[in-house]
């Protein structure tokens, strides 16, 4: 089970997350096209077969998101879809101490709330964009913000009983890799490289194995081809889908040089 690391006691972003995540294995050379050139490269991993790399798709909704001690200033709920590439390395001048640490890069996030986009882009440097996101019954749809063109959708199917991380052995390596520290470029990608730690709260998370069908209607990232992917629930498939409902914590940005090769994949022991 991933360890949960302490973060700043002064303030951090917190919220409640209800989402369905699916993991696919794509050709490594295609996944490389989703990464910033030169500075972020694929790292060795054993989750998917050789010459492939894991890519994570997340379809969820955040509730009651705010900075601790500053809840009066900003408290919002919003939908958020993301594409994530775990098991990458940062190879940038000035960050040599972090170059061998496995980190997590999110090449695209779509949200339906402007302030959540602006804060994420400016302070953390996340690749966030506005989108039209709806969830009606078992269908979660992401459309373009201006033209409302279909981008990607997920239709969920049969769900297993509620459990916890220990009940799903296939999920444990997935939980470790998506708990890797995230790397971004702060200040709307104009500033330095920074890291941040997302604590999924695995110890208390409610988890379901769930079947799903994902349809990519528009190629919004270079490595993603249009078409449909059928997912089997994580209880039956190592790269399956699962629903998670959990309270999460996101640290303030900190220098990637504070990371060390020997630290837990699940987080960071130092204080931001």
Percent of the chain having pLDDT more than 70? Answer: 90
pLDDT bracket for residue 261 (50, 70, 90):
low
Total domains, the chain: 1
On whether residue 61 sits in a domain, the answer given is yes
- 3-state SS record for 65-120: EEECCCCCCCCEEEEEEEEEEEEEEECCCCCHHHCCCCEEEEEEEEECCHHHHHHH
Residue 118 lies in a domain: yes
pLDDT at 50 over 50: yes
197-228 pLDDT per residue, tens? 999 999 999 999 999 999 999 999 998 999 99
Decide if 272 is inside a domain.
Answer: no
Distance CA(186)–CA(191), nearest Å, equals 5
Convert the pLDDT of each residue in 58-78 to its tens digit.
999 999 999 887 766 668 999
Asked if the structure places residue 267 within a domain, the reply is no
- Least confident range from 18-27, 165-174, 252-261: namely 252-261
Domain with 74, as residue range(s), is 13-258
* Residue 97 maps to a domain: yes
Which of 91, 95, 109, 97 lies closest to 43 in space, CA to CA?
Answer: 91
Question: Which residues face 245 on adjacent strands?
Answer: 18, 206
Q: What is the Cα–Cα distance from 110 to 128, expressed in whole angstroms?
A: 6
Q: Is residue 1 part of a domain?
A: no
Q: Domain for residue 8, yes or no?
A: no
Separation of alpha carbons 144 and 108, rounded Å: 13
Q: How many CB atoms sit inside 10 A of residue 124's CB?
A: 23
Check whether 152 has a pLDDT greater than 80.
Answer: yes
Nearest-Å Rg of the Cα atoms of the chain is 17
Nearest to 201, CA basis, from 169, 248, 164, 168: 248
Asked if residue 210 belongs to a domain, the reply is yes
Q: How far apart are CA 19 and CA 218, in angstroms?
A: 22
Interval 105-114 mean pLDDT: 98
For residue 3, count other CB atoms closer than 10 A to its CB: 15
Confidence tier at 189 by pLDDT (50, 70, 90): confident
Task: List the CATH number of the domain containing 37.
Answer: 2.40.400.10
How high is the pLDDT of residue 262?
54
Quick check: pTM over 0.85? Answer: yes
Cα separation, 52 vs 192, whole angstroms: 30
Would you state the pLDDT for residue 9? 54
């Amino acid at each position: 089970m991933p360890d949960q690391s302490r973060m700043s006691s002064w303030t951090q972003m917190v919220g409640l997350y209800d989402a369905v995540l699916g993991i696919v294995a794509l050709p490594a050379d295609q996944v490389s096209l989703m990464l910033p050139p030169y500075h972020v490269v694929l790292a060795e991993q054993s989750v998917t077969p050789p010459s492939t790399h894991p890519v994570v798709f997340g379809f969820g909704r955040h509730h009651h998101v705010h900075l601790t001690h500053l809840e009066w200033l900003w408290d919002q709920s919003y939908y958020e879809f993301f594409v994530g590439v775990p098991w990458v390395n940062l190879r940038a001048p000035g960050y040599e101490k972090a170059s061998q640490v496995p980190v997590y890069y999110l090449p695209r996030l779509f949200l339906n709330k402007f302030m959540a986009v602006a804060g994420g882009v400016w302070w953390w440097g996340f690749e966030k964009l506005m989108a039209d996101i709806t969830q009606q019954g078992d269908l979660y749809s992401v459309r373009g913000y201006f033209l409302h063109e279909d981008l990607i959708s997920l239709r969920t199917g049969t769900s297993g009983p509620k459990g916890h991380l220990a009940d799903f052995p296939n999920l444990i390596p997935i939980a470790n890799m998506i708990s890797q520290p995230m790397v971004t470029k702060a200040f709307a990608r104009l500033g330095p490289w920074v890291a941040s730690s997302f604590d999924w709260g695995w110890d208390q998370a409610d988890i379901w194995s769930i079947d799903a069908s994902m349809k990519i209607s528009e190629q919004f990232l270079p490595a993603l081809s249009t078409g449909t992917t059928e997912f089997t629930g994580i209880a039956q498939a190592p790269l399956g889908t699962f629903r998670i409902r959990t309270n999460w914590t996101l640290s303030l940005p900190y220098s990637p040089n504070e990371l060390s090769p020997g630290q837990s994949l699940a987080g960071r022991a130092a204080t931001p």
